[in-house]
């Protein structure tokens, strides 16, 4: 595997494209919504790599090596030696289509030698939990899935997917990686602290939460946020919910995508089942950085970091809002753990898709650092 990476800005992107490997078969493009020459850039990339798979999405921050940038493009070009790739895309009308979209995507990609699927999805019109359930329903246990939901800074207005030379919303893209020569390691860890009492979900539908303990969900949630309530939904990124569906199930984190004042509901990136239990969460800066380190440690255990060639990091926009100027520290601890060899790329997202660790099922996460490590 040969991997090259460059961070591009509005002024010098044409110059910085020169000299990159033209034999690359896969290009990952993580693009800021505020990067201005989007269409011109994608046209140029398509011209220079006419036979490559080109995919990516909009972000809430672009990761290049140990740096987190804005108004930029993180471009990674990959030439595989033992691995073949296939890209499929599924257009959706809305969140209700998410499960079937996941099934369709997986069914188009699955073969006996499928090793991994990288999934990139619209961040606002997809139920991420249903998408993952649809994917899991079609795939064998030995196929790893990772990826994330596209972002739009902290604006929550419109995200886009990059599908060859076009940019589209309401789209889900899957890149299948095939071959016994590919080695994959995945992990996802958070680091948030729960506080307050656990509350029962008494009314919900899919990913829309209406009542907690019989009380209007938005009203109750606002009472915790205080002054930050006026900044919803973006302020909700700093106060996610810990969801426990069953007594024996590990908790997962859910982040708000939208609020509805009329029916006092909260819409989340994943499902909030009735009769489940939730607790409010808040940030602990040291624990967030430690969570990123633990995620890197779990990945390093699954494969020899000396042979690692590419690490794809997908972290949540909520972590970025909390860590602020310290945000690059969570990237630096990943680099320290994985060592100097792998190229690091990625983006800040509205949701992360990955297993917790090796041999566990793929799930939708929020507020985590998700790492996908690839080598041949």
Query: Quick one: which of 236, 257, 239, 337 has its CA closest to 289?
Result: 337
Domain count, the chain: 2
Same domain assignment for residues 159 and 205: no
pLDDT in tens, 124-135: 999 999 999 999
For the residues of 16-27, what is the DSSP string, one character each?
A: HHTTS-TT-SEE
Strand order through the sheet with 2-8 = 2-8, 73-79, 26-31, 53-58, 161-163, 166-168
Same domain assignment for residues 293 and 353: yes
Same domain assignment for residues 25 and 110: yes
CATH of the domain at 48: 3.30.1330.40
Task: Check whether 358 has a pLDDT greater than 80.
Answer: no
Cβ(186)–Cβ(371) under 8 Å?
A: yes
Supply the pLDDT for residue 360: 64
Strand order through the sheet with 171-178 = 84-91, 171-178, 114-121, 144-149, 351-355, 362-365
* pTM listed for this prediction: 0.89
Confidence label for 363 from pLDDT (cuts 50, 70 and 90): confident
Residue 120 tokens, joined = 């990139």
Q: Rounded to whole angstroms, how far apart are CA atoms 89 and 56? A: 12
Q: Range of 259's domain? A: 193-281
Same domain assignment for residues 165 and 199: no
Confidence label for 170 from pLDDT (cuts 50, 70 and 90): very high
pLDDT in tens, 10-53: 988 999 998 899 999 999 999 999 999 999 999 999 999 999 99
Same domain assignment for residues 6 and 150: yes
Domain end (from 262, 281, 300): 281
- Interhelix angle 328-338/285-302, nearest 10 degrees: 30
């Amino acid at each position: 595997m040969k991997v090259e990476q460059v961070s591009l800005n509005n002024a010098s992107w044409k110059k910085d494209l020169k000299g990159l490997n033209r034999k690359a078969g896969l290009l990952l493009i993580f693009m800021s919504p505020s990067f201005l020459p989007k269409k011109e850039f994608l046209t140029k990339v398509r011209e220079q790599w006419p036979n490559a798979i080109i995919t990516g999405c909009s972000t809430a921050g672009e990761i290049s090596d140990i740096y987190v940038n804005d108004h930029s493009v993180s471009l990674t070009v990959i030439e595989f030696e033992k691995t073949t790739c296939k890209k499929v895309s599924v257009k959706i009308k809305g969140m209700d289509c998410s499960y079937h979209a996941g099934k369709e995507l997986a069914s188009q990609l699955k073969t006996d030698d499928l090793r991994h699927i990288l999934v990139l999805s619209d961040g606002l019109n997809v139920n991420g939990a249903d998408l993952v359930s649809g994917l899991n329903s079609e795939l064998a246990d030995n196929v790893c899935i990772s990826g994330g939901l596209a972002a739009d800074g902290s604006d929550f207005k419109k995200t886009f997917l990059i599908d060859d030379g076009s940019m589209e919303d309401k789209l889900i893209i899957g890149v299948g990686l095939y071959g016994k020569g590919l080695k994959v390691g995945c992990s996802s860890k958070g680091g948030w602290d729960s506080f307050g009492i656990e509350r029962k979900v008494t009314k919900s539908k899919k990913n829309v939460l209406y009542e907690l303990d019989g009380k209007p969900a938005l009203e109750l949630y606002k009472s915790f946020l205080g002054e930050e309530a006026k900044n919803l939904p973006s302020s909700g990124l700093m106060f996610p919910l810990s969801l426990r569906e069953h007594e024996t199930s590990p908790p997962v984190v859910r982040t708000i995508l939208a609020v509805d004042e009329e029916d006092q509901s909260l819409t989340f990136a994943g499902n909030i089942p009735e009769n489940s239990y939730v607790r409010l969460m808040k940030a602990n800066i040291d624990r967030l950085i430690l969570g990123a380190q633990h995620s890197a440690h779990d990945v390093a255990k699954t494969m020899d970091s000396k042979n690692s060639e590419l690490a794809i990091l997908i972290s949540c926009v909520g972590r970025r809002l909390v860590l602020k100027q310290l945000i690059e520290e969570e990237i630096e601890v990943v680099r320290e753990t994985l060592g100097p060899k792998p190229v690091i790329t990625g983006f800040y997202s509205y949701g992360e898709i990955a297993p917790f660790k090796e041999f566990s099922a793929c799930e939708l996460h929020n507020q985590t650092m998700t790492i996908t490590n690839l080598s041949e």
